[in-house]
């Protein structure tokens, strides 16, 4: 399972659909890690960026460099 994630809104959350290709092994680990988080947010690492999903209340998504702090706009 290697590939890119595409996102579409589903009710009050975000649903990620997996599109297979042979780009990196890290994408599998990241997908599994994101699904296993028990907190109120999930993170997916894409290269040098981190995409953070803030659930239900905020409905906003943040992409920022790993070295910087995550800030909801």
Query: CB of 33 within 8 A of CB of 17?
Result: no
- The answer as to whether 30 is a domain residue is yes
Residue 1's pLDDT is what?
44
Q: What is the mean pLDDT of residues 24-38?
A: 57
Q: Domain for residue 49, yes or no?
A: yes
Which residues form the domain of 32? 3-65
Give me the DSSP letters along 6-36.
EEEEETTEEEEEEEE-SS-SHHHHHHHHHHH
pTM of the predicted structure, to 2 decimals: 0.17
Number of domains in the chain: 1
Cβ–Cβ < 8 Å for 70, 53:
no
pLDDT digits (tens, 9 = 90+) for 33-70: 655 554 445 455 555 555 555 544 455 555 555 544 55
pLDDT for residue 57 = 47
Q: Is residue 72 part of a domain?
A: no
Residue 70 lies in a domain: no
Residue 57 lies in a domain: yes
For tokens 């680990």, name the residue: 29
pLDDT at 25: 53
Q: Examine residue 38 and state whether it is found in any structural domain, yes or no.
A: yes
């Amino acid at each position: 399972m290697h590939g890119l994630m595409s996102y579409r809104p589903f009710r009050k959350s975000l649903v990620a659909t997996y599109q297979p290709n042979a780009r990196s092994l890290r994408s599998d680990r990241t997908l599994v890690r994101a699904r296993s988080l028990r907190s109120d947010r999930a993170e997916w690492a894409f290269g040098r960026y981190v995409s953070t999903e803030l659930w239900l209340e905020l409905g906003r998504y943040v992409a920022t460099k790993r070295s910087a702090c995550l800030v909801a706009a």
